[in-house]
Amino acid sequence: MTKLKLVDVNYTYSEGTPFRKDALRNINIEIEDNCITGLIGHTGCGKSTLVQLLNGLLFPTSGEVMFDGKNIKEKGYDLKTLRHKVGLVFQYPEYQLFEDTVYDDIAFGPKNMGLDKDEIDRRIREAALFVGLEERYFEVSPFDLSGGQKRRAAIAGIMAMDPDVLILDEPAAGLDPIGREEILGGIYSYQRKRKNAVVIVSHSMEDMARYSDKLIVMNGGEVFMQGNCREVFSETDKLLSVGLDVPQITKFMRELKSKGVDVRTDIFTVDEARAEILSKIGGRGNA
Tell me which residues touch other proteins (CB under 8 A): 52, 55, 57, 80, 83-84, 87-90, 93, 95-98, 108-109, 112-113, 143, 157-158, 161
Q: Closer to other proteins by CB, 59 or 108: give it.
A: 108
SS3 letters across 45-77? CCHHHHHHHHCCCCCCCEEEEEECCEECCCCCC
Q: Closer to other proteins by CB, 201 or 253: give it.
A: 201
User: CB of 133: closest distance to other proteins in angstroms?
Assistant: 17
State the Cα–Cα distance between residues 222 and 44, nearest whole angstrom. Answer: 11
- Which residue from 162, 170, 153, 159 is spatially nearest to 42, judged by alpha carbons? 170
User: CB of 240: closest distance to other proteins in angstroms?
Assistant: 33
State the Cα–Cα distance between residues 128 and 72, nearest whole angstrom. Answer: 31
Q: Closer to other proteins by CB, 88 or 267: give it.
A: 88
Q: Closer to other proteins by CB, 52 or 269: give it.
A: 52
- CA angle 122–125–129, rounded 5-degree value: 140
Q: Closer to other proteins by CB, 31 or 158: give it.
A: 158
Helix (H, G, I), strand (E, B) or coil at 5: strand
